[in-house]
Amino acid sequence: MISIRNLTFSRGNRKIFDNISLDIMPHKITAIMGPSGTGKTTLLKLISGQIKPDSGSIFVDQQNVTTLSRSKLFTLRKKMGMLFQSGALLTDMSVYDNIAFPIREHTHLPESMIRTVVLMKLNAVGLRGARDLMPSELSGGMARRVAMARALALDPNMIMYDEPFTGQDPISLGVLVKLIQTLNQTLGLTSIIVSHDVQETAAIADYIYLLSAGKIAGQGTPEALNTSESAWVQQFMQAKADGPVPFHYPAHDFTSDLLANKKQ
Amino acid sequence: MNIFQVLGQSTLKSLAKLGRGSLFFISILSGLGYVLKRPNLLMKQLYSVGVLTFWLICIAGLFVGMVLGLQGVYTLSTFGADSSLGIMVAASLVRELGPVVSALLFAGRAGSALTAEVGLMKATEQLSGMEMMAVDPLKYIIAPRFFAGFISLPLLAALFSAIGVIGGHLAGVELLNVDAGAYWSQMQSSIDFYDDIINGIIKSIIFAWLVSWIALFEGYDALPTSAGISRATTRTVVNSAFAILLFDFLLTALMFGAN
Amino acid sequence: MQYRSLEILVGFFVSIAIAALFFLALQVSNFSALKDHGSYAVKAHFDDVGGLKTKALVSMAGVPIGRVTEINFDAQNYDALVTMRIDSRYNTLPTDTSASILTSGLLGDKYIGLTAGGLDEFLKNGDTIDLTQSALVLERLISQFLFNSSDKSE
């Protein structure tokens, strides 16, 4: 479905991705994990063609998004859904209009049919009763579910989740985990989850890529990673405070640092 | 870092920004067709950009006109020329104050709001979200706002001048007993339709382009953080004011300097 | 807000603003006086135009009947050639009409005042007015006055 080859991307002098290659299998849930600041969200933006890499290629449905024209990219994006961290709902429209928005923009369906589609999508995320609310009246978890319904509005065949679990209370967390899983199974979607919430992600992912410092630090099924011999993978998966990734940000020796004050 | 490096760096930065701004403007223009096909988008923005600035402009115009009337009478009566009050009030309003003051007020009221709105949309990922739904935010969000500003400001400036002239009448004629016939007839015989009114409108059209462009670009180019948006909003007001005054000087030199 | 009421408010705003434009055009400026009845050009030579400018009024008996359109220096006669356009409603000006450059009020603008002559032929497009009187230049007036008074005292 998606294959990334020799991707390099840098922001300023910092290399976010250094020559990485990875594949995302159709109809599976693939998780891309890693510590904050490893450019997981950037990867999603690269896949959807919002930003261009320095070098390398990204194939989605056999089309190289790095060289596609803007109009072809837009056509391709109708087949991609994306769930943003904040939900990215349009704040001047009701929940109903938010979900109807992509349908109205891209199809010429009559309003009665749009209504049917919108209510179906809202029912799938369990928020049919919230259709008249404005985005500002929604809780964080509800906003994400509405955004999920909107991402599904055009019946895409792949969907990307950007940090879907961050900052959620346990109940909405459970709802989201279950939703992602059921949607993937019932609709046969290809799902990509970008996250650093190990437990929830590992529970539903079919395959995991671990990113660190611009490289792929580990990959495999959740079970394989849990038993991985790599110390770094172990530290990340078990959420240990210290390990190959030190607790301390690189600094001089502590005692000499303290004494340095006296010398001045 | 030495002073030349700082100078060079900031020059390159502003040039790069100007380049981005120009590309941005070109994409706005290419959104014109889209806006014409979707008049309801334009209508909404005409409301929030034009109608919501309406009262501010009316009140400001009235008071500026009345002040001109009062000051005009005091100054002109020392030369026994208070019959020329109408010319003074109308010429200063139509040529300068109407376009300039309404553009400054517009930048403060509508321009800053546009920057904050677009910047917040960027910060809350609404713009990228739209992009992911294969809807071009430059066409759907930016273009209608630009054209709404572009249409509104010349109308507001005309309103400002008209109300200002009436304000001058209230202060000069009703309050300080300047002859009403002299006020209006002197005005009519000296204010030239093409030289004064049309040139004033041309000015306000150019200010409308400047302010809408600056406001939307600052919002679109803002750092998507609260500090970034607040700085962008400030920049909109400050840069718009600079641009308005600079262009006013250039345009005045072009239009009225020749004679 | 309902879309309908929004449309009404926008319509209200636009129509008031356009009314303001009309007000500026009709009440504040000379737009209504510009109604074009057609016009014809008449030329006149002056020794000195003083501060006369293009677009200055041309009036007869105090009523504006045209405007100055061009002021050029005539290199052959070393004087000023003024072209004015007169409203074609007033097409019965005798050919011996005289033109003089006058000032409205003490500090006012310069304008051209025409005084009708007595001939039966009328000025046509492109004709030249022969009888002209130059602008009064204050400095010259004062120096004349001084010379005159010094002559007398001798």
pLDDT in tens, C101-117: 888 766 667 888 888 88
Query: Percent of chain C having pLDDT more than 70?
Result: 90
pLDDT score at C57: 81
| pLDDT of A160 higher than 80 | yes
Q: What is the mean pLDDT of residues A128-143?
A: 88
- Residue A183: what residue type? L
- Choose between B101 and A130: higher pLDDT: B101
Confidence category of residue A2, pLDDT binned at 50, 70, 90: confident
- String of DSSP letters for A154-200: T--SEEEEESTTTT--HHHHHHHHHHHHHHHHHHT-EEEEEE--HHH
Q: What is the pLDDT of residues A167-209, one digit of tens each?
A: 788 888 888 888 888 888 888 889 999 988 888 888 888 998 8
pLDDT score at C93: 86
The separation between CA A17 and the C-alpha centre of its own chain, rounded to angstroms, equals 16
Phi then psi for residue A98, to 5 deg, are -60, -40
Q: What is the pLDDT of residues B134-180, one digit of tens each?
A: 888 999 999 999 999 999 999 999 999 999 999 999 999 999 888 88
Residues of chain C with C-beta less than 8 angstroms from the C-beta of B156: 17
Q: Is the pTM of this model over 0.90?
A: no
Q: Is beta strand C79-87 parallel, antiparallel or unpaired with respect to C39-46?
A: antiparallel
Residues of chain B with C-beta less than 8 angstroms from the C-beta of A79: none
Which of helix, strand or coil describes residue A215?
strand
CB contact (8 A) between residue C31 and residue B197: yes
The sheet carrying C79-87 orders its strands as C127-129, C39-46, C79-87, C63-74, C57-60, C110-115, C98-103, C131-133
CB contact (8 A) between residue C27 and residue B188: yes
pLDDT score at A262: 61
Distance, in Å, from the CA atom of A73 to the CA atom of A50, rounded to the nearest integer, reads: 9
Q: Is A3 exposed, middle or buried (0-12, 13-18, 19+ CB in 10 A)?
A: middle
pLDDT in tens, chain C (154 residues): 577 888 899 999 999 999 999 888 888 877 666 566 678 889 999 888 887 887 788 888 888 888 888 889 988 888 899 998 888 888 888 888 889 888 876 666 788 888 888 888 888 888 888 888 887 777 777 888 888 877 666 5
- Alpha-helix residue ranges (DSSP H) falling in chain B: 3-30, 32-37, 39-45, 52-77, 85-91, 98-106, 112-123, 126-132, 137, 143-169, 180-190, 199-221, 226-256
Search chain B and give the residue with CA nearest C24. B162
Chains A and B touch (3+ CB pairs under 8 A): yes
In the 3-class helix/strand/coil scheme, how is chain C assigned residue by residue?
CCHHHHHHHHHHHHHHHHHHHHHHHHHHCHHHHHCCCCEEEEEEEECCCCCCCCCCEEEECCEEEEEEEEEEEECCCCEEEEEEEEECCCCCCECCCEEEEEECCCCCCEEEEEECCCCCCECCCCEEECEEECCCCHHHHHHHHHHHHHHHHC
Residues of chain B with C-beta less than 8 angstroms from the C-beta of C16: 54, 159
Query: Percent of chain A having pLDDT more than 70?
Result: 98
CB contact (8 A) between residue B188 and residue C33: yes
In a mutational test of the A interface, the residue from B133, B140, B223 whose CB has the highest number of chain A CBs within 10 Å is B133
Chains B and C touch (3+ CB pairs under 8 A): yes
CB contact (8 A) between residue C20 and residue B259: no
Q: With CA atoms as reference, report the closest residue to C56 among C96, C21, C24, C102.
A: C102
- Choose between A19 and B56: higher pLDDT: B56
pLDDT score at C107: 64
* β partners of residue C44: C82, C129
Distance, in Å, from the CA atom of B238 to the CA atom of C47, rounded to the nearest integer, reads: 54
| pLDDT of A126 higher than 90 | no
Query: For residue A249, what is the DSSP state?
Result: P
Q: Of the CATH numbers 2.40.160, 2.40.50, 2.40.30, 1.10.3470, which one belongs to the domain with range C39-136?
A: 2.40.30
Residue B163 C-alpha, separation from nearest chain C C-alpha, in angstroms: 8
Residue A230 C-alpha, separation from nearest chain B C-alpha, in angstroms: 36
- Residue A28: what residue type? K
Distance, in Å, from the CA atom of A47 to the CA atom of A79, rounded to the nearest integer, reads: 13
Distance, in Å, from the CA atom of A158 to the CA atom of A3, rounded to the nearest integer, reads: 14
CB contact (8 A) between residue B134 and residue A150: no
Search chain A and give the residue with CA nearest B124. A88
Q: Which residues of chain B have pLDDT under 70?
A: 1, 258-259
Using CB atoms, pick whichever of B40, B54, B187 lies closest to residue C28: B187
Using CB atoms, pick whichever of A85, A90, A106 lies closest to residue B126: A90
- CB-CB contact of A152 with A124 (8 Å): yes
Residue A251 C-alpha, separation from nearest chain B C-alpha, in angstroms: 26
Residues of chain B with C-beta less than 8 angstroms from the C-beta of A90: 126, 129-130
For residue A85, count other CB atoms closer than 10 A to its CB.
Answer: 17
